[in-house]
Structure 1
Amino acid sequence: MKDPYDIDEIEEVVDRIQCLSTPFFVQDMPEWIFSALTTLRCLDTEVGGELVDLGEITTLRFPNLRHLEIHHIYADPTYDDFPPLESLHLIVSEDNGWQDIASACSASLVSLQIKRIFPVLYFQNTDIILPRLRHLKIVKLWEEEMGLPLNINTPNLQFYIEDDEENPPEQLMHGHLSSATHMRLKAFHIPNHLATTLNAHALQLELKFADFCDALDKLTKNSSIFPCLEHLEFRSGLMEEWEANEARRMLEEFVWESRPNMKLPTISDHWIKEFSVESFTEV
């Protein structure tokens, strides 16, 4: 729905709607019960758009809601009747509000996507544990340095993706990656604690050509970095055509000396192996 006044047209079929996308969460909706709704997307392309009061999203009104995407939220410290979400996608300008939401569905959350508009320079103390989280994506939406990394406990994380629409981050955007088996990064980092990469066996990198050469060199010479790595994939989106051709030539002639289980690295203009939310949730 693109017009807020269209909301009245769905009142008689509210109990049949399974997926709803709208930039408006208007005052007429609270009295309705969306008994069949599994996916709700409150999308707003304007930076200063309408705030959504998440206190209105309750299990009583949305008993089967499992997938929620919201671009602007009204932070509320208590969510006593929040639905048991499986996937949550937020655009946040500070870290206080989304932490409350994540805590409210921590026992059920499988996928979390966070787009951060501004750097976070400090964190409040948090004990958030997301025991079922398997898929985490963090996107940085500003040019300056990143600030502090994400501060949540994700003991069973498998798929980790980070992206940057301006400049590659100078460090990993999440600090709890020791369980991650699949990673997609916009920069190649050697973490301070090599245990961070201990279980990763699939690594995807989108790098400039010089960074591509550097990453390949370091992975070749130091097998303690990503020691279980079996699949290495590069995306050529940040390279000139001649650079991508040279990178492809280098990989065709490449031989691993210290990684016997490693497959031949690949490079393409798209990701060959997808780490999609749909592969392990019921979206």
Structure 2
Amino acid sequence: MWAPSDINALPTAEDVLNVKEAISELKRQIEIARSSPESLVKVDVLQKELEERLAWVAPWRRVPTDILSIIFEYCNREDWKSSLMLTAVSTRWRAIVLSTPRAWSYVDTKECKNYRIVRTYLDRGGQCPLHFYYPSRRSDIPVSKIAQRLHCLSIENMYIYEMVNSDFPNLECLSLQTGTTTSRLSRITSTRFPSLRHLICGSLGSDSDSEWMPPDFPPLTTLSIAVAIDLAWLTVLQASRDTLTSLRLHLHEQFSIPAEHQVTLPRLQCLEIQNWTTVNSAWPLDLKTPILQTYVEHHRRIRDQYLHKDLATIRRMRTNVHTPVPPLPQLSLLQLEIQDDIPERLVGQLSDESLYPKLERVEVFSRTRRPNVRHLVEQMFGVRSSQPPFVVTSKRETEFPGTISKFTSREGYRETTCDDRWAVSPEYRFLR
């Protein structure tokens, strides 16, 4: 019976015809063998041979190598362990994975505690950019050895000696999760971090009585930072004010802002304020945002006023503030988070087309199932000449561009702040 001369070679047109005839013959012999109890062993042999012929002409074997390389790189991004598993599929796949350095550029050192495996990823990745999570407990991976390759680094803090004394010429994203002090943050300069554009800083603590001022802080485009008693966060904000396009501020129980302090952010397009305080603290920080497109404001407890005032240009807004939304002539998408019911004062206001002439969609996140949603929709939008789609969700449906949660990636590579509460719940979907 016909068999390919080289099982690893791609079949030619003539080979395809021959193997199809062989497959038909094998199927016929299997049917004959199954009719005889004495031929069960022969059935197993024929079945294995049939599977080999079918696999040899399988469509995936004709996928070009460069396409498979892209697929394998994507698999590594989704699950860092996939690169190891792909090497065991076939000789061809193993060769392709091993010759694709980007398929080894993501490794979760938070999950993987075996240094030999981590070392394997670092070696097979060649010189391609690395996306790396560095737990504080790891001392077996010298940062200085991979500093040139790091593209994205998530680290618990900057206390590691090598971290504060190495240069990172290609690092674009740095996530400092906890315990960063002002003196260590002052080591982030354009000289040592020339490519740094995205900084995520979990918390700041002061270890010096002197005011910290970076001499040449990198021109950040994305900044997420905690508003704390130490004013280093404000210094970082001021140092980046001319280049920031996305900003997220975390307000904690104790924070400090100079009275009536004003900062102009001429390029800012996305602003997020996460208020975790339990008191209605004063907010004297006046941010001027002339081209702001997206605004997110979330509070731990109900608040009756917005912290940010310069909202005339925004097109997308997400909030749980239970006060009437100010007139927004450019607003096209509004996401509201409510506890029990839509406040009546919002109902009448949202029905006024003159206040939101470009409103195209409203999404409401509610933890309770309310049977009168359709009635509220009609009450809110029945008088508008154009009725925007109204969706009640249990999870976030529409992701805003430019938000920090959109920018950050999976756990283990960068800080993850994704909030999936706005995904659609089908039983609450009402489109008008």
Structure 1 residues 105 and 50: alpha-carbon distance in aligned structure 2, compared to 1, 3 A threshold: closer
Match of 2:150 in 1: 17
2:198 corresponds to 1:73:
no
Q: What 5-or-longer segments of structure 2 have no aligned partner?
A: 1-133, 410-432
Amino acid at match of 2:387: M
Selected match of 1:216 from 333, 347, 366: 347
Match of 1:173 in 2: 307
The CA distance in 2 between the partners of 1:265 and 1:88, in whole Å, is 32
Shift of 1:265: 1.3
- Retained in 1: the 8 A contact 2:261–2:284? no
- Retained in 1: the 8 A contact 2:337–2:366? yes
SS of match in other structure, 1:40: strand
Shift of 1:151: 1.4
- Retained in 2: the 8 A contact 1:202–1:229? yes
Shift of 1:208: 2.6
Selected match of 1:35 from 162, 169, 178: 169
Q: What 5-or-longer segments of structure 1 have no aligned partner?
A: none
Q: TM-score, normalised by structure 1?
A: 0.83
Structure 1 residues 206 and 39: alpha-carbon distance in aligned structure 2, compared to 1, 3 A threshold: same
The answer to which structure has the higher helix fraction is 2
SS of match in other structure, 2:258: coil
Amino acid at match of 2:162: D
State the structure with bigger RCO (CA 8 A, min sep 6), 1 or 2. 1
Selected match of 1:54 from 185, 191, 196: 185
Amino acid at match of 2:148: D
Match of 1:88 in 2: 223
- Retained in 2: the 8 A contact 1:137–1:161? yes
- Retained in 2: the 8 A contact 1:141–1:164? yes
Give the 5 Å matches for 1:133-282: 133-148=268-283, 150-165=285-300, 167-190=301-324, 194=326, 197-220=328-351, 222-237=352-367, 240-241=368-369, 243=370, 245-247=371-373, 249-250=374-375, 256-277=381-402
Which of the pair has more CA radius of gyration? 2
Q: TM-score, normalised by structure 2?
A: 0.56
SS of match in other structure, 2:334: strand
Selected match of 2:234 from 62, 87, 99: 99
- Retained in 1: the 8 A contact 2:269–2:292? yes
Shift of 1:183: 0.6
Shift of 1:282: 10
The CA distance in 2 between the partners of 1:97 and 1:10, in whole Å, is 26
Structure 1 residues 246 and 190: alpha-carbon distance in aligned structure 2, compared to 1, 3 A threshold: closer
- Retained in 2: the 8 A contact 1:110–1:281? no
The CA distance in 1 between the partners of 2:256 and 2:216, in whole Å, is 31
Question: In percent, how many aligned pairs have the same letter?
Answer: 25
Amino acid at match of 1:96: L
The CA distance in 2 between the partners of 1:147 and 1:125, in whole Å, is 10
The CA distance in 1 between the partners of 2:358 and 2:229, in whole Å, is 35
SS of match in other structure, 1:6: coil
- Retained in 2: the 8 A contact 1:145–1:170? no
Amino acid at match of 1:32: S
The CA distance in 2 between the partners of 1:102 and 1:3, in whole Å, is 27
Shift of 1:158: 0.5
